[in-house]
């Protein structure tokens, strides 16, 4: 995942505060002003964040790629990445609206949304929460024949890299591929912090 950076942007986005720019570009957040606090309060449903990102996406990406070829910030994954095809979640309000995830390559463990009554959520193209041992035991006792697997942190799920996803989807910008090394295409393991983040949900 991208590293938080403290570098300041030469901000051409004159209508945005430094706090908003940092928020939208995965940077270390400066102290928010009262206006910034109000913006976060009004953006809790992501609509404010989304509108600012989409209105300034080209400039954000140009700046981001100077230091981060082969990757994209969180807002790109949330709002600009390809969407999953409609029909994958028939009848659900989010059908056709979720970002396409990165390709899974191996490892043991099921995303929480596969078995629990929660909306699928992703972080940089990877499921954001996973079954743990407690949920696996509870589901085995409550659902005859349940065959789900809790995440195994000794053999965690692995996914293609961000660069691999962008290459496969033909989303690298001109000149970006030449800046990437073999290391940028190495598979990525689900980190323990992501794996242990469990949602409140019902069986």
Res 203: pLDDT: 33
pLDDT, tens digit, 9 for 90 and up, residues 49-58: 898 899 999 9
- Write out residues in the chain with pLDDT < 50, as ranges: 1-11, 192-203
List all residues 6 or more positions away from 80 whose beta carbon is below 8 Å from its beta carbon. 53, 54, 57, 72
Maximum Cα interatomic distance, the chain, rounded to a whole number of Å: 59
Res 177: pLDDT: 97
pLDDT, tens digit, 9 for 90 and up, residues 118-148: 999 999 999 999 999 999 999 999 999 999 9
β-pair partners for 189:
158
Cα 56 from Cα 13, distance rounded (Å): 8
Res 45: pLDDT: 66
User: 130-148: b or e for each residue (b if 16 or more CB lie within 10 Å)?
Assistant: bbbeebbeebeeeeeeeeb
pTM for the complete prediction? 0.84
């Amino acid at each position: 995942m991208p590293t938080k950076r403290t570098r300041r942007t030469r901000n051409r986005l004159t209508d945005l505060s430094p706090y908003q720019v940092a928020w939208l570009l995965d940077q270390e957040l400066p102290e928010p002003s009262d206006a910034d606090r109000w913006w976060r309060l009004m953006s809790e449903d992501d609509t404010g964040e989304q509108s600012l990102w989409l209105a300034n996406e080209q400039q954000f990406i140009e700046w981001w790629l100077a230091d981060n070829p082969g990757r994209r910030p969180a807002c790109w994954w949330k709002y600009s990445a390809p969407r999953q095809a409609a029909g994958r979640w028939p009848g659900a309000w989010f059908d056709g609206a979720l970002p396409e995830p990165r390709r899974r390559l191996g490892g043991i463990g099921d995303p929480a949304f596969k078995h629990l009554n929660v909306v699928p959520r992703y972080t940089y193209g990877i499921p954001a929460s996973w079954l743990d041992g407690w949920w696996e035991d509870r589901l085995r006792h409550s659902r005859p024949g349940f065959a789900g697997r809790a995440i195994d942190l000794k053999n965690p799920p692995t996914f293609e890299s961000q660069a691999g996803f962008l290459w496969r989807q033909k989303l690298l910008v001109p000149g970006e591929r030449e800046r990437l090394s073999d290391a940028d295409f190495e598979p990525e393991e689900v980190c323990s912090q992501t794996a242990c983040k469990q949602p409140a949900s019902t069986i």
